[in-house]
Structure 1
Amino acid sequence: MAQLERIAVTHVPAQGVAPVLARMRALAAELPPRDGVAVFNRVYLSVTEAVDRAIGSGAAAGFGDRRAAITLDVRFAERYLTAVDAAARGVRGPACWRPLLQFRRHPGVRPLQFALAGINAHIGHDLALAVVDSCRTLDCEPGALEDEFDRVGDLLVALEEHIREELMPGPDLLQVADPLTHLLGSWSLERARDGAWAAARTLWALRELPGMAAEFAHRLDTSVGLVGRILLTPLPD
Structure 2
Amino acid sequence: MDEGIGREPASVGDVVGVMRAMEAQLPAADGIAVFNRVYLSVTEEIERRLAAAEFGDLAAATELSVRFAGRYLAAIADDRAGRRPPACWRPLLRMRGRSGVHPLQFALAGINAHIGHDLALAVVDTCRATGRELPALKADFDRVGEVLTLIEERVREELMPGPDLLDRADPLTHLVGSWSLDRARDAAWAAARLLWALRDIEDAYEECVGRLDAAVGLIGRFLLTPLDR
Q: TM-score range, shorter-chain basis?
A: over 0.9
* Structure 2 runs not aligned, ≥5 long: 1-6
Q: For residues 149-183 of structure 1, give each alpha carbon's deviation from its aligned partner in whole angstroms, at most 9, with x where no partner exists.
A: 00000010011001000011003546898210111
Superimposed CA distance per residue, residues 194-233 of structure 1 (whole angstroms, 9 cap, x where no aligned partner): 0000000100100110100000000000000000000000
Q: How many Å separate the matches in 2 of 1:78 and 1:158?
A: 21
Q: Match for residue 131 of structure 1?
A: 123
1:99 maps to 2:91: yes
Q: 1:90 & 1:176 partners in 2: Cα distance? A: 35
Q: Which amino acid aligns with 1:108?
A: G
1:7-22 → structure 2 map (5 Å cutoff):
16-22=11-17
Aligned to 2:205, the other structure's residue is in SS state helix
Shift of 1:185: 1.2
Q: Is the 8 A contact 1:99 1:228 kept in 2?
A: yes
**Superposition pairs of residues 1-237 of structure 1, within 5 angstroms:** 16-58=11-53, 61=54, 63-173=55-165, 178-236=170-228
Could you tell me how far apart the structure 2 residues matched to 1:64 and 1:194 are?
A: 20
Conservation of the 8 A alpha-carbon contact between 1:157 and 1:189:
yes
Quote the residue 1:3 is aligned against. none
TM-score (normalizing by structure 2): 0.93
Amino acid of the residue matched to residue 203 of structure 1?
L
Q: Distance in 2 between matches of 1:227 and 1:55?
A: 32
- Report how far residue 141 of structure 1 moved: 1.2
- Give the 3 Å change call, closer, same or farther, for CA 185–176 of structure 1 in structure 2: farther
TM-score normalised according to structure 1 size: 0.90
8 Å contact kept, 1:175–1:181: no
Question: Is contact 1:20–1:77 with CA below 8 Å preserved after alignment?
Answer: yes
Alpha-carbon distance between aligned partners in 1 of 2:168 and 2:28, rounded to the nearest angstrom: 29
- Do the aligned residues in 1 keep the contact of 2:161 with 2:169 (CA within 8 Å)? no
- The 2-side partners of 1:175 and 1:105 are apart by 22
Distance in 2 (CA, whole Å) between partners of 1:174 and 1:197 is: 36
Offset at residue 16 of structure 1 (A): 3.1
Give the whole-Å Cα distance in 1 for the aligned partners of 2:105 and 2:74: 22
On the 8 A contact 2:168/2:228 being kept in 1, the answer is: no
| Deviant stretches of 4+, over 6 Å | none
Q: How many residues align?
A: 223
Structure 1 gaps of 5+ residues are 1-6
- The whole-number CA distance in structure 1 between the counterparts of 2:69 and 2:144 is 12
Quote the RMSD (CA, aligned, Å).
1.7
Query: Alpha carbons of 1:133 and 1:30: their partners in 2 closer, same or farther (altered >3 Å)?
Result: same
Q: Percent identity?
A: 62
Q: Relative to 1, partners in 2 of residues 1:236 and 1:19: Cα closer, same or farther, differing over 3 Å?
A: same
For residues 29 and 20 of structure 1, the distance between their equivalents in structure 2, rounded to whole angstroms, comes to 14
Q: Distance in 2 between matches of 1:177 and 1:93?
A: 31
| Cα separation, 1, equivalents of 2:35 and 2:60 | 25
